[in-house]
Amino acid sequence: MSTARSRRWRQLILWLVLPVVLLLSVWLWQRYQNAAVAALRETGRQYLRERRDDLAEAAFERCLQRFPEDAELILLWAQAVISGRGRTAREAAELALGRLQQIPDTSTFAAEARMREGRLGLLVLLRPEFAESRLKKSLELGPPTLDANYLLWKLCDLTERFGEAEPWFWAAYSLTPEDQQLARLREWYTSQFSPQSANAELDRLLGFLEPDRFSDDTVTIARLAAFRSNEPDSALARAAEASFMIHLRDREPAIALLRDQWQRPGVSSNDFLMSTLIDVLLETGRLDEAQVIFERWPAGSSFLWLRTAGRMQQIVYQQDAEAVELFDRALPVWPGPIDWSLLHFKAQSLAKLGRREESEAVRLRAREIELLMELPVHQELRQALADLNRPENLRKMADFYRKIGREREASEWDRHRERLF
């Protein structure tokens, strides 16, 4: 009897102890594995520091087999893939992008992941619309970063949206170390007043410009064609190419490129495409078509909407008072201060309203701005920019910006002159 009871006690103890032993074993095994992965992760980091990227990729790949959703590991792995050899830049970018997109927006590493997606999308895959969406998402998810704002500024330049770059420039400028801000101001001037020169460095990086060549229209054409080839359904890519066609006076191909786009879902809120299409329709006398498209464009406050709405009131609706009001709202918004043609439009409407003295004053201001945009003025400014170690050159830049009504830039040039000299 006692033997049977003893056996039952041993069985009971075994049943009680065995799960504990098993759980402890599992816990110890997990601790061991986690320690092994942590060591392997650090090994991978060391490989990255030593530029042994293929070994780093292999180390991080083994770690990801244990922790496939570890966002930091994915970022490290993607870095190794992009830096490694054995793949083309496009192959590496597409491979890295596939895994970066697995990092959810709820992750603490999401902002960095979206920024890297945007960088790859623009600089390797040549997909500007995708890149822009990822970079903006990065800024939405995390604190503002220099990289994301700078890339959005450059993306505007590369897609012919020079006038839309200002918010990204100022954000990037504010995040730039003070001792590098003069270079940023110089780059901002070039971006707005010599865009082909501003884009030359990136065009070389993207493979559209040889190291020993100066940029020209053929480089811009090649870049914009590549953007549309890589994103054939992109409203942004089409609008950028059409905008440059209009610059080259190829109006009919530009209209053909955009005419079927504005009815696509969401495109009517794209100010760049809508303004580009409506403006060229107005230029070519297609007023009825311009009106139909304009009335599908939601009212806004951007420079592009205000300028185009003013032209519609002036040309199509024959409402000059409304046109003047819209022009007045557009002129302070960059690039309104240097848009001398916009001042001429305003002067025309003022004259029709019988406000002759106001019209003449606006015409004179338009002529002042037009003269400030002439080549000799900017040749002198570029000479000043070539030597920022002389205080008089910084003063020249400040004076120029004050003449065009841009106190913010003028103040920054003055501040750096006072700081350095």
11 half-sphere exposure, CB direction, 13 A CA radius: 6
The domain locations on the chain are 377-420
| Percent of the chain residues topping a pLDDT of 70 | 91
pLDDT in tens, 356-381: 999 999 999 999 999 999 999 999 99
pLDDT confidence bin for 28, thresholds 50/70/90: very low
C-alpha torsion sign, points 234, 235, 240, 245: positive
Evaluate if residue 17 carries a pLDDT over 80: no
| DSSP assignments along 145-190, one per residue | -HHHHHHHHHHHHHTT-GGG-HHHHHHHHHTS-GGGHHHHHHHHHH
316-351 per-position pLDDT tens digit = 999 999 999 999 999 999 999 999 999 999 999 999
Asked which of 7-11, 172-176, 337-341 is least confident by mean pLDDT, the reply is 7-11
Residue 12, pLDDT score: 56
What pLDDT, on a 0 to 100 scale, did the predictor assign at position 36?
Answer: 66
CA–CA distance, 268 with 271 (Å, rounded to integer): 8
CA 248 to chain centre: 24
Report yes or no: 156 and 129 within 8 Å, Cβ to Cβ.
no
Q: In this predicted structure, what is the pLDDT of residue 269?
A: 87
- pTM of the shown model: 0.89
pLDDT at position 20 is 53
